[in-house]
Chain A
């Protein structure tokens, strides 16, 4: 086994704006002092990094032919009809203007770090790395140390931006396995509103990419951000990512996550309530199957009083897949009058499927209201029989029940067009799965 920490440090970004070097230096020093997690590392207890440690994934991403018809077809597949969004498309980490539909929007600036003007650089430098803690999240440190560019989204004061921003990260296989960094910084000035969709997808071929992603969402006072993060990559695409949100007074974050499994997929979602009266709705669905793995670690830091959190995650784990869910809510001593709810429900559709779920409440204030719960269940035989007794084929009934389990979250999405986009994708997924099970039997 190679020394992944040392080898990753050898990998130095070449073209990069000089002002990012400080960030990179701090990232490198933090990464250098970290150690690869083992089974005894609580945060990584159920997620092994063996596949990375084998060292095959440190190659460089290559720029793909931007006019390739296959990429255009892929872009059309990931386009969400009815969302009417501005699309920003990256292929293997490189921005692809031909596939994107970015136009100037009132109230929202979208620029690459490398193309930012002086004022924008100032704002980026103020906020970059403030929401994501590189000392606590080692892969954030790695992202920092590889930092060569990123996307900066700036929503100006009191702007209500209705057109969603749809950022698509596509991967296609390369000859050699490779790593790529994804970095997003969203800064919302006081009183603004916006919608950002982060969408990870790939073509149908067997992938050999490792994506290391960090998204930072900085919500100023009285802002409203509707955020989606979709992971619909092919099952060999590795991903370790983090979404780090920082909420000022009365800010409201609505964040929805959807993840299909892969050989290795780990997402850390961190929300910090740093101003009085902030609110966060955090919902998620994970759907690993075959031998896939998916790990969602969420952490809500209630640092200030009068903040509220409502968190619902649901998972359907099939075949011999494994899911990990860790939901932490940390109420600091100052955070009186906090209201926090956390629910995690899991459906195992096979007796080889496994889920490790752990809700964690850590409360240091005495006047708060917190609830949490986790359940693990199987498809209800009686419900299955009920549907079959109406002439619905068993495999179709299984699909209906599986989708029913997550439908509540899909139906409650703030943008119904996104639900319409996801439903056939998920329907197809379960139908395919049922067929495979039947064949195996």
Chain B
């Protein structure tokens, strides 16, 4: 589904990613771990095409397409979704309007019949329930005045509505209490259908107690290490990470 080969990227002239290699197959769940500043979030933003995140070398293929040649909105339509670590507050644009615009665009792209307001409203209410978010959040401005946990649930809601082929969840578990974490984990697990793939960017093992990844990668200094295979990681202790060797590609 996603194939990253020797990806190098700079942000404001500073090289953050220095040779990432990653293969993600359909239906797989990959976890990416690593210390602060190792480039985990940068990888997410490079993949979704954020302005100012310059790819200097390497290639990325997503579902047979050259991902790097696409504009951010085209990447989204192609089925890539990044759940933001810091979702943006946009006062004045209602969450409902935002979600409907996004879903309308996606359905049009996928040649699906457009949803009328009533059907969309019904769908949105259902999804609200699934992420345990009060319906009033639909009427408010996008993320406006949402707590950290509410913002993360809103991200999850967008994932459920847009049904991406690949979802990158950037620290969606950070700052959540245990109940919210379970809601998020249950939400993600409910989206696993054997075809949809996930990348979980996280600092914590606790999320991986709820969502069993197929592969765990560790980023160190912007370089990916050898993935830890699934039979290896299960029942692992967080201490074990210390034993993982970060093997830069240029060595």
Contacts and interface: CB of A to CB of B under 8 A. Distances in A.
Contacts of B87: 386
A394 B50 CA distance: 12
B76 interface: yes
A404 B90 contact: yes
Contacts of A382: 88
B245 to A, nearest CB: 34
Interface stretch (A58-66, A147-155, A405-413): A405-413
B66 interface: no
Contacts of A386: 84, 87-88, 90
A433 B54 CA distance: 29
B71 A394 contact: yes
A388 B48 CA distance: 9
A248 to B, nearest CB: 36
A62 B9 CA distance: 67
A388 B71 contact: yes
Contacts of B105: 391-393
Interface string B168-212: 000000000000000000000000000000000000000000000
B91 interface: yes
B95 to A, nearest CB: 12
A401 B90 contact: yes
- Residue in A392, A394, A396, A407 whose Cβ sees the most chain B Cβ within 10 Å: A392
A390 B76 contact: yes
A98 to B, nearest CB: 38
B43 interface: no
B88 A408 contact: no
A403 B141 CA distance: 12
Interface in B65-82: 71-73, 75-77, 81-82
Contacts of A389: 48-50, 72-73, 75-76, 81-82, 84
B93 A394 contact: no
Interface size class of A (residues with CB under 8 A): 20 to 34
Nearest to B101: A392
B106 interface: yes
B74 to A, nearest CB: 8
A404 B91 contact: yes
B109 A385 contact: no
Contacts of B158: 390
A381 B90 CA distance: 12
A405 B101 contact: no
A380 interface: yes
B98 interface: yes
A382 B109 CA distance: 24
B104 to A, nearest CB: 9
Contact of B102 (A392, A401, A406): A392
A403 B72 CA distance: 22
Contact of A391 (B50, B84, B106): B106
A431 to B, nearest CB: 13
A387 interface: yes
- Residue in B75, B90, B102 whose Cβ sees the most chain A Cβ within 10 Å: B90
A383 interface: yes
B82 to A, nearest CB: 6
A115 B102 CA distance: 57
A309 to B, nearest CB: 23
B14 interface: no
A230 interface: no
Contacts of B82: 389
A390 B141 contact: no
Interface in A391-441: 391-394, 396-397, 400-401, 403-408
A405 B92 CA distance: 6
A403 B93 contact: yes
B231 to A, nearest CB: 35
B224 to A, nearest CB: 23
B92 A394 contact: no
Nearest to A395: B73
B90 A391 contact: no
- Residue in B50, B73, B81, B102 whose Cβ sees the most chain A Cβ within 10 Å: B73
B51 A385 contact: yes
B218 interface: no
Given A391-B73, A391-B106, 4 more contacts: A381-B51, A388-B76, A390-B158, A392-B76
The 8 residue pairs across chains A and B that have the minimum distance between CB atoms: A404-B92, A391-B76, A404-B93, A407-B92, A390-B102, A388-B72, A386-B88, A388-B73
Interface of A: 380-383, 385-394, 396-397, 400-401, 403-408
29 contacts: A381-B51, A382-B88, A385-B50, A385-B72, A386-B87, A386-B88, A387-B102, A388-B71, A388-B76, A389-B48, A389-B72, A389-B81, A390-B76, A390-B81, A390-B102, A390-B162, A391-B106, A391-B162, A392-B76, A393-B73, A396-B101, A400-B93, A400-B97, A401-B93, A403-B92, A404-B91, A404-B141, A407-B93, A408-B92
Interface of B: 48-51, 71-73, 75-77, 81-82, 84, 87-88, 90-93, 97-98, 101-102, 105-106, 109, 141, 158, 162
